[in-house]
Structure formats: structure tokens, C-alpha cells
Chain A
Amino acid sequence: MSDTTQSGPVLAADGTPLKRSLNRALRLQKMRALALIAPLLLFVLLTFIIPIGQMLFRSVENDIVATTLPRTVVALQSWDAASGVAPDEAVYTALAADLHDAAKAKTHTRVGSRLNYETPGISSLFRKAGRKAKKWDVEADGPFKEQFIKIAKGWGDPDVWRTIQTYSPKYTNGYFLNAADMQKGADGAEIRPESERIYITLFKRTLIMSLIITGSCIVLAYPVAWILANLPAAKANLLMILVLLPFWTSLLVRTSAWKVMLQQQGVINDVLVWLGLVADDARLVMINNQLGTIIAMTHILLPFMILPMYSVMQTIQPTYLRAAKSMGATNWTAFWRVYFPLSVPGIGAGSILVFILSIGYYITPELVGGTKGVFISNRIAFHISSSLNWGLAAALGSILLAVVLILYWAYDKIVGIDNVKLG
């Protein structure tokens, strides 16, 4: 414009350059948004992210040997595990001193049970030796090698010493090796003998069963989502209740319902016997095995598949199908070449959601899975509450978490976490 005489930057009403003023406003807006988010973010970080991080740390943490047996760890450094003979007197003297202190503080059994996870039998060596060591005078009662071997023969076994040496560093990958059915042998990591492999089997079973559950959810959800998306709104809403009611019903209610339905004296078997399809003495075994887990979990996770599929199918115009048919496509071609490709995002979203949910399931497999139908999560719970091998539980959890995070990332790429819808 011609009457603009000033040549400097555009100014705001208060005389500051407009650019700076706008920047300040933007910064203020950002700060305000962050201030609103901050309390929740802090809360989630503190009570959720930190605990998860702590669990990850615990899966590699291993300072119990180094803190309880400091002198032994130092003395063992010069011992060559490959020599095949027990270490010399100096190591035993160090161990006697350590055990003497540890037994007084009553921590020797904890080291014992920690090492027992790696080489079964060590726990009792520590218990027996600890009882004696408490009364020893470390200065006067030597030499100790003979005395230790007299308490328990195991103390002369190089394997026991190798285990102590292997697990003396503060951090270990031992739990992860265990979780992958491996162990630290004489020369590095090695696969366990076939009879001792349980975790690989469990991981495989968890993956395969989750895939089966996801597959059956797709098969069952597709027709339902289709019919919901293609019916007039009033009818669709009515049918939607049948989908949402299971979704809102307590997980335990549904699991107990399946227990009622599937057990040998249960409703399904009773009906089959009454109809004469199954003999009374040959009732079907549908619970406490993989079939029970698959049926119950398919039912429980089905709404999570139907809802994303439905929201995608709602956006597909019915005119596309009619156009395809008017141009000569058969029913099948019109569906397979036009409708199905458009509905794939819904299938993808639902599948990832169902798969993520099912590989971490605990309650339902625990209640209807018996021994053959349990998942890796049941093993984690077992290590937390029964065997108390928390490091291994943390390692198993970390592996599971890694799998889930990869899937989560994929979900975010495909669907976007902002687009998750409920109900």
C-alpha cells in the first residue's frame, strides 16, 4: 500500500514487533497446554512408566552375589573355571569369612536360593555351610577347604564354583537366557537339553493360540460387522446392544459363564446328551484344555474385533457394490475386489488389538486353560507368587513387553492411537 511509510517490521498494538508478539502468544498457549497435561503425565510416569522401567532393570540386576560374598568374588577372579579342579585354599578362606558375616546377617540363604535357580542343589550347600560358618572364628579355624568339603561334597565340585563365578558380576543376562531356555555353560550360552525346555514351548503356544483366537475373531466378527453396517440405523442400534452387552459385562462373569457352559456336567454337554448326539459316558472334554481357552477368549475378545471393523465398514458406501454389480461383476467379485479391500483397515485394526490383548491374557487361561491351555503370562504369575524367581518373571515380562510394543507401534502406524474408539 502506498501510505505505508514505515520500513521496519510490522508492529503490534503495543509497539512490539508482531512476529515476536505472535511467538510469545504461541509460547504461552503451548505452556498452558503443557501445564494442563503435566499433572497427569507426571502421575502416569510415576505410577506406571517407572514401575515398568524398574521391572526391566530387575531383569538384568544381579548384585546379590557381589554384595553378600564380596571377598569370595574377588578371590575367585583368578580361578580358571576351565581347569576342572576346585579353587585353592585362599578362595575357601574368603568364602568362610563371607559366610560368617552373611550367616550372622541371615542373608546366606538368599544367595543360596538365587544361585539355586541356575544350578539346582546350591541352596542346600549354602544352608549347611552357613550353619557351621556362624560358629567359626575365621582367623583361627583354617584351613577351610577340607572342612567345607566335609560339610557337603558339593563344595568340591568345580561346577558349583563356576556358577558362583558366572553370577558374580552386578548385571547378568542370565535371566534372559533362562527365559529363552538357555543356560550359561562352560563355554558361553548354550541351549538347554530338550527335556528342560519350557519357555520356548510356552512362547510358541502363546503366539499360536493368540493367532488362532485372532483368526476366529476375524471370521466371526466380519459378518456381524457387515450386517451392523448395512442395516437401517434403528435395527443396527438394537443389534449393537448384543455386541456391547458382553463388552460391558465383567470379564469374570463371562469366564464363569464359560465354565458353566463347557464343563463336562455343563450346559452344552447336557444339551448334547439330551439330544442324543453324545453318549452320556462320552461327554466332550471342552474345558481345562486349549479348546476351552480358545472358545472363551474368542467370545471375550470378539467385541474388540467387531467395533473397529464396524466403524470402518460404516464409511464404505453401499453404492460401490451396486456400481460394481451394474458393470457386470458377480456377487463374489464385487465383494472380493471392491468391498473387501476397503474393509481391510478395519480387519487390521481389530486384529492387532485382539492379538495384543490375547498374548497378555492371564485370568481366562488360568481359569479354563488347565495345564495345556495356559499362556506365558500364567508362568510370569507363577514366578511372582509361587516360585519367587522375580528376576526370571521380569525377564519373561520384558520379552512379552517388547513383542507388545512392536505391535503397538504397528497399530499406531496403521490406525493411529488417536483413532481408537470405544463403544
Chain B
Amino acid sequence: MAALTPISRKPMSLVLPTIAAAGGFLGIFVGASNGSTLMGLVIGAVVVAALGLFFIGVLKNEQLSKWISIVLVAVAGFVLGGIPGFILGAIFGWFFHWFTYWLYEGRYRARLLPYLTPGQVLWHYSFLVICGAIFVFLITPILVVMPLSFNAQDFFTFTPEMLRFDPEGYSLKHYRDFFTNNEWQRSFKNSLLIAPIATVISVSLGTLAAIGLSQSHVPGRRAIMAILISPMIVPLIISATGMFFFYSDIGNWLEGTLGLPKTFVGYVKVVLAHAVLGIPFVIITVTATLVGFDRSLTRAAANMGANPVTTFFRVQMPLILPGVISGGLFAFITSFDEVVVVLFIGSASQKTLPWQMFTGLREQISPTILAVATILVVISIALLTTVELLRRRSERLRGMSPS
């Protein structure tokens, strides 16, 4: 965004107390870890204020003072806390320099409306900080897992070696364990077997039904919709309880009367249950795509002699395909991530990856879980990217500008 407000330099009476307060705040933590909170506060405030005064009043060179600030604080950090301290120090050195000039040159005003009062400006930036903190809360747990999965020890936390960035502290052994351990491999294969089949069932049935639901005259549309969405709304534990009773009867019947092998019946049960759970997602995404579908296209196709099946595959399907695929991805992730139902109706030979993680977390805590978690995060990033790209494509196809 271009600058909205012409900026002007601010008096030192504003800059110095503010950066001193920031320095003092950081000093509290440094002081606390080195013995005296109060000393830390005072020293932090004085040092930062002095540096600011020196840069602005004496040096008057922004580039040079940036490097001085970074190096000075980084060295101080190294003395106090080794390599992690060095890195943190460099970051804080850069930050204080930027913060000082940001305030001094009045850059904080540049992108705001000119008529805002100082109080509104302060509120604007505090609000940004609050939002930033919430985003940190959202994303930190996922980011923390990744480096921990390279831990050389069997700990769930950062070891001193890892914090020193010592290569000894890192290893791929948890990944090796995941790829060689039979239990993990079998559950991974089970997940890769069950989820796609369940997805195919829910996508094919769900797409047909969504097309039916999007017709203009459907008797009892609301009731049907309510029934089809219900697997998403009913708590999983209740679905699982109901399915537990039902599928044990069905399973007995399939095994006893039809004489099907036990393992096969087990897979059928889990696949059917997961297919039902994935259906609401397919229905929701596909009906949302169909809302923007131009009905005259099918009439035009029919007009030119295409039968309904050809129309569906050659005209309608290519246009709603993005919605169908993202519905399918939702269904896939639902099944791939599902643990309650499979815990209730599956037997040991249908153990899926989430089930294995669940028992791993509850009983024998092994850091292999973190390696699996990292792999799953990478998979979900890939899925998220696909869905996002599909959404944009779908909006482009429907003639909306992608937002």
C-alpha cells in the first residue's frame, strides 16, 4: 500500500521512553534467567535508550547503526546464553534498531489514515499485536512438532544439544523407526487402503445425490439434507456407539451366514463406516459448487442431441470437478484422520495410523509419533494447497474473480 500520510520525525521525548520501556520489558526476562529481575529491567531500559540516543543523535547513519546494533546485542547474547543467545540477540538487535527508527522517523503513521488520533494509532498497533499472538497460538503447536521429530534422544522436548544446534542432537532415527517398524507400517498401509476406498464410495454416491438435490423441485429437500448431513453433526462417540452394536451384528451375519473371511469383513465394516462419515463433506462442497452452475448449459447440450449421460460427463462434470475433488479430499482426510469409530468397530488387523498414534500417546510414549505427525503435517499442507488451487480454479470457471 502506498503511503497515506506524509511522515515527519518525532521528538525524542516520545521515542526514548518507548524504546526504553521495550528494552526494559525484554530485560526482565534476561535478568530473571540471570538472577535479578530488577537489575535486568533497569539495565535493559538504559542500554536500549542509550543506543537509541547514540544512533539518532551522534551516528546519524541508519545502515551503519543497524549493523552495530545487531552485532552488539548478539555478542551480549552470546556471553549470556551461548549460541541460542547469539541468535536471539541478533534478532533482538535488529528489532530494536528497526523499532527505534520506525518511531523516530514516524514511519508507523505512513500507512494509516491521516485523521487518526494518537490513541487510535496505538490501538491499531496493539490490535495487530493481539492478532499476531492468536496466529502464533494457532500455528506454534504444529511448528514445534517438526524440529522435535529430529530429536536424537527419546525425549518429547528440546535437549541442550538441539538448542546448541549441535548436529549430534539431531537424527533421523524416529523416521527410520517409522519406516522399519512393522506395527507402524501395517497401520500406515491400512490407512492407505481404507481411506481411498471409503472416499470413492462417498464421492460417487455423494455427487449423484448432490446433483439430485440441486434440481429445482425436490420433495422434502430440507429433511433429506438434514439426514445426509447428520453424520457430521452427530458426535463421533454416538455414531461409534451406534455402529458398534450394528456392525457387530452385521459382521456376525456376514461371517456366519455367508462364510466370508474375518479380515475381509472387518475391512468392509470400517470402509462403510468411514464412507458414511465422509458423505456430508462431499454433499456440502458439491452442492456449493452446483449453486453457481449454469443450468442452461445442460439444456444447450440436450438441445444439440446429447443424452443425459453424455451431458453429465462432457458438460457438467468438468465444470463441477473442482468441487467434487475438494469434497473428495475432505472425505479422504476424514477417513484418514478418523480414530473413534475404527477404535470401536475395527479389530487389531484393521489398525489404522491414527489408532496406532492414539495407543502410542496413551500407553508407550514413543517419539516416533512426532515423526509420523510431521509426515502427516506435510501431507495436510499438500492437501490444503490442492484444495486452495481447486477453489480458485472453480471460481475462475464460474466467472468470479478469485479472492
Contact = CB atoms under 8 A, between A and B. Distances in A.
Contacts of B205: 39-40, 43
Interface residues of B, number: 100
Nearest to B33: A276
Interface in B129-166: 130-131, 134-135, 137-142, 144-145, 148, 155-158
Interface in A250-277: 250-261, 263, 265-267, 270, 274-277
A116 B246 CA distance: 25
B95 interface: no
A376 to B, nearest CB: 9
Interface stretch (A62-70, A123-131, A394-402): A394-402
B208 A267 contact: no
Contacts of A338: none
A229 to B, nearest CB: 11
Interface stretch (B63-71, B172-180, B292-300, B368-376): B368-376
Interface in B200-232: 205-206, 208-209, 211-213, 215-219, 222, 224-231
Given A30-B218, A36-B208, A250-B354, A276 B230 contact: no
Contacts of A284: none
Interface string B359-375: 00110000001100100
Contacts of A36: 208-209, 211-212, 215
B50 interface: no
Given A39-B209, A265-B157, A276-B29, A422 B284 contact: yes
A269 to B, nearest CB: 9
A79 interface: no
Contacts of A390: 245
B63 to A, nearest CB: 28
B376 A401 contact: no
Interface in A399-416: 400-401, 404, 408, 411-412
A340 interface: no
A34 B219 contact: yes
Interface centre among B134, B140, B281, B381 (most CB of A within 10 A): B134
Contacts of A54: 242, 245-246
A408 B330 contact: no
A39 B208 contact: yes
B181 interface: no
Given A227-B131, A420-B229, A242 B339 contact: no
Contacts, number: 288
A297 to B, nearest CB: 12
Contacts of B275: 43, 47
A255 B242 CA distance: 25
A253 B373 contact: yes
Interface centre among B218, B288, B370, B373 (most CB of A within 10 A): B373
Contacts of B131: 223-224, 227
B380 interface: yes
A177 interface: no
B158 A270 contact: yes
B309 interface: no
B245 A249 contact: no
B241 interface: yes
Given A246-B138, A248-B333, A417-B229, A253 B211 contact: no
A246 B142 contact: yes
A237 to B, nearest CB: 8
B209 A331 contact: no
A250 B241 contact: no
A241 B139 CA distance: 10
A29 B217 contact: yes
A241 B141 contact: no
A299 interface: yes
A256 B357 contact: yes
B73 interface: no
A47 B231 CA distance: 10
Contacts of B391: 423
Nearest to B81: A274
Given A33-B213, A400-B238, A299 B141 contact: yes
A257 B369 CA distance: 10
B259 interface: no
Contact of B273 (A33, A47, A224, A404): A47
B140 to A, nearest CB: 8
Interface in A12-31: 26, 29-30
A44 B403 contact: no
Contact of B238 (A32, A39, A55): A55
A267 B138 contact: no
Contact of B224 (A41, A243, A360): A41
A362 B236 contact: yes
Given A241-B384, A356-B235, A404-B234, A34 B218 contact: yes
Given A32-B215, A43-B205, A248 B384 contact: yes
Given A37-B209, A423-B326, A26 B217 contact: yes
B239 A250 contact: no
A75 interface: no
B241 A397 contact: yes
B253 interface: no
Contacts of B120: 331
B90 interface: no
B247 interface: yes
A294 interface: no
B110 interface: no
A335 B358 CA distance: 45
B242 A55 contact: yes
Interface string B182-197: 0000000000000000
Given A55-B238, A255-B361, A249 B142 contact: yes
A366 B215 CA distance: 44
B229 A48 contact: no
A312 to B, nearest CB: 15
Contacts of A232: 1
A43 B130 CA distance: 47
A357 B340 CA distance: 14
Given A32-B215, A223-B131, A423-B326, A393 B276 contact: no
Contact of A41 (B138, B217, B228, B281): B228
A220 interface: yes
A216 B396 CA distance: 37
B316 interface: no
Contact of A48 (B127, B138, B230, B330): B230
B72 interface: no
Nearest to B31: A276
B402 to A, nearest CB: 9
Interface of B: 1, 29, 31-34, 37, 120, 123, 127-128, 130-131, 134-135, 137-142, 144-145, 148, 155-158, 205-206, 208-209, 211-213, 215-219, 222, 224-231, 233-247, 272-273, 275-276, 279, 281, 284-285, 287-288, 326, 330, 333, 336-337, 339-340, 344, 354, 357-358, 361-362, 369-370, 373, 376-377, 380-381, 383-384, 387-388, 391, 403
Given A55-B238, A227-B127, A248-B383, 15 more contacts: A29-B215, A29-B216, A34-B212, A35-B212, A36-B211, A39-B208, A40-B206, A44-B230, A51-B247, A52-B234, A245-B380, A248-B333, A257-B141, A363-B339, A394-B245
10 contacts: A36-B209, A39-B205, A48-B243, A51-B246, A253-B142, A260-B144, A261-B144, A331-B120, A367-B358, A400-B237
Closest 3 CB pairs of A and B: A360-B235, A36-B212, A276-B32
